[in-house]
């Protein structure tokens, strides 16, 4: 039976209605989007680990996924067990006298400073600051019930993220086949090319970022121990984590390290604290140039390489649209949008679209459309 085709106006109307309905769902359930994105990221990172474990130990996939999560949590626990005693030892060696620090701050605030003919009274400014902070903190202190509610909500979201990532790891292949089966046959090859391009971008970003963070942490441990940076191991791990925040992470680490260097000084270098602070700032500036110009292009890969201005604008836009989670995902998201934009631009102006990964052969199609066509060709 020949089915009647919908006219163009009907297709356009239904497409617009579906788009409006999708936008309504996004606005209505926007709170669930960040946890789902986190779950997708976790599943994407753990997928090769789970595949490797499953090939080696031949357990059911659901059991392999749980084993991978247990191994990951065990590694985190071992790191914490190693770091906490080190930080305690550093605190004992530094012999910090809180009363002496408070006294020096009070003496600094009690003095008047003349700058360009103006007299600055730090004590008056401090009183105003403390008064403002007290006004802001008082409502927070009285909201114990809301704090407990927030903690319970966070635990529920963590359970939700774990469940979503678990089922994505378990049934991700089936979900991909289900999506592919709804792609029209004439667009199947384009869909597979775009999927391959975007997958290469995100694979290069996540796995490259993990390797980059590990290398950065090792570099910071070595340099921190050499110059005597307080809490060298903890600061090195913090630098590795902040490597996921392009540009912003470097600034956050530098501010924390500068404060530690200025107030605590080096653990063994016989130099004044302000000189040690300048040493930390100078070494970090050298490392930042080495990181941006050598490590990131070679480890993360040039597939995610974007101009610095585009990355900065993407970070700001990602922070405004998705909060903190939008900052580290700005670069691969823009790179993925670039792939889709090139495809749309080429078809709008009747140009040939050749994906970057066209030099590599695609895997054999496994969609239901292909299987259906195979069955039709075999049927008499």
Q: What is the pLDDT along the chain (380 residues), one digit of tens a residue?
A: 556 778 888 888 998 999 999 999 888 888 888 888 888 888 888 888 898 888 888 888 899 999 999 998 898 888 777 766 766 666 555 555 566 666 666 666 666 666 656 666 666 666 666 666 565 555 545 555 567 777 888 888 889 989 999 999 988 888 888 888 888 888 888 888 888 888 888 887 887 888 888 999 999 999 999 998 888 888 998 899 888 876 678 888 999 999 888 888 888 888 888 899 999 999 999 998 888 777 877 776 656 767 766 777 777 777 777 777 777 788 888 888 888 888 888 888 878 776 655 544 444 544 444 344 444 444 44
Cβ neighbours of 215 (radius 10 Å) = 15
DSSP codes, 229-272: -TTHHHHHHHHHHHTTSTTHHHHHHHHHHHHHHHHH--SS--S-
pLDDT of res. 366: 45
* 3 state SS of 113: strand
Helix orientation angle between 33-57 and 188-227, rounded to the nearest 10 degrees: 90
Cross-strand pairs, 120: 113
Range of 139's domain?
A: 32-92+126-182
Residue 305 lies in a domain: no
Residue 81 in any domain: the answer is yes
Q: Are 168 and 40 in contact (CB under 8 A)?
A: yes
Alpha carbon separation from 327 to 32, 198, 234 (Å, rounded): 18, 19, 23
Q: Residue 332 falls within a domain, yes or no? A: no
As to burial, measured by CB atoms within 10 angstroms (0-12 exposed, 13-18 middle, 19+ buried), residue 234 is middle
Is residue 37, in this structure, part of any structural domain at all? yes
Q: Return d(Cα 52, Cα 35) in angstroms, integer.
A: 26
Rounded CA separation 250/242 (Å): 7
Instruction: Locate 161 and state its tokens.
Output: 């993220």
Q: How many domains does the chain have?
A: 1
Per the domain annotation, does 203 fall within a domain? no
Concatenating the DSSP letter of every residue in 166-193 gives HHHHHHHHHHHHHHHTTS-GGGHHHHHH
Q: CA of 233: how far to CAs of 7, 80, 110, 220, in Å?
A: 66, 11, 37, 8
Residue 137 forms part of a structural domain: yes
β-sheet bridge partners, residue 118: 115
Quick one: CA dihedral 223, 229, 230, 235, positive or negative? negative
What are the tens digits of pLDDT across the range 257-277? 998 888 888 888 888 888 999
Q: Convert the pLDDT of each residue in 316-375 to its tens digit.
A: 777 777 777 777 788 888 888 888 888 888 888 878 776 655 544 444 544 444 344 444
Q: In this predicted structure, what is the pLDDT of residue 378?
A: 46
Residue 57 lies in a domain: yes
| pLDDT number for residue 136 | 53
Is residue 83 assigned to a domain? yes
Which ranges in the chain belong to alpha helices (H)? 8-28, 33-57, 61-94, 98-110, 122-141, 144-180, 188-227, 232-242, 248-264, 273-290, 296-299, 308-322, 330-348, 368-378
Task: List b or e across 73-99, with b for residues whose CB sees 16 or more CB atoms inside 10 angstroms.
Answer: eeeeeeeeeeeeeeeeebeeeeeeeee
Look at residues 208, 175, 169 and name the one whose alpha carbon lies nearest to residue 50.
169
Q: Provide the pLDDT for residue 181.
A: 83
CB 317 within 8 A of CB 172: no
């Amino acid at each position: 039976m020949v089915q009647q085709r919908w006219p163009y106006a009907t297709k356009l109307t239904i497409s617009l209605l579906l788009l409006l309905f999708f936008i309504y769902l996004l606005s209505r359930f926007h709170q669930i989007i960040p946890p789902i994105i986190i779950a997708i990221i976790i599943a994407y990172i753990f997928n090769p680990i789970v595949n490797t474990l499953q090939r080696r130990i031949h357990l059911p996939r659901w059991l392999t996924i749980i084993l991978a999560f247990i191994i990951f949590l065990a590694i985190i626990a071992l790191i914490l067990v190693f770091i906490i005693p080190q930080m305690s030892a550093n605190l004992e060696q530094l012999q910090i006298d809180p009363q002496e620090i408070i006294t020096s701050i009070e003496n600094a605030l009690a003095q008047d400073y003349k700058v360009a003919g103006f007299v600055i009274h730090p004590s008056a400014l401090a009183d105003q600051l403390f008064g403002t902070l007290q006004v802001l903190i008082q409502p927070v202190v009285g909201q114990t019930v809301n704090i407990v509610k927030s903690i319970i909500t966070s635990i529920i979201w963590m359970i939700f993220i774990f469940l979503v990532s678990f089922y994505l790891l378990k049934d991700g292949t089936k979900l991909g086949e289900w999506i592919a089966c709804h792609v029209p046959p004439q667009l199947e090859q384009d869909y597979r090319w775009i999927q391959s391009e975007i997958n290469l971008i995100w694979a290069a970003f996540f796995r490259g970022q993990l390797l980059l963070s590990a290398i950065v942490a090792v570099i910071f441990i070595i340099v921190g121990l050499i110059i005597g940076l307080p809490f060298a191991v903890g600061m090195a791990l913090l630098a590795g984590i902040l490597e996921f925040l392009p540009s912003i992470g470097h600034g956050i680490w530098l501010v924390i390290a500068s404060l530690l260097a200025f107030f605590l000084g080096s653990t063994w270098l016989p130099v004044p604290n302000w000189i040690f602070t300048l040493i930390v700032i100078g070494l970090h500036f050298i490392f930042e140039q080495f990181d941006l110009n050598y490590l990131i292009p070679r480890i993360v890969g040039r597939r995610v390489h974007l101009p610095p201005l585009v990355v900065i604008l993407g970070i700001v836009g990602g922070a405004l649209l998705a909060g903190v989670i939008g900052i580290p995902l700005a670069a691969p998201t823009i790179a993925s949008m670039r792939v889709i934009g090139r495809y749309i631009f080429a078809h709008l102006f009747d140009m040939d679209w050749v994906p970057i990964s066209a030099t590599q052969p695609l895997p054999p199609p496994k969609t239901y459309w292909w299987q259906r066509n195979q069955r039709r060709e075999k049927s008499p």
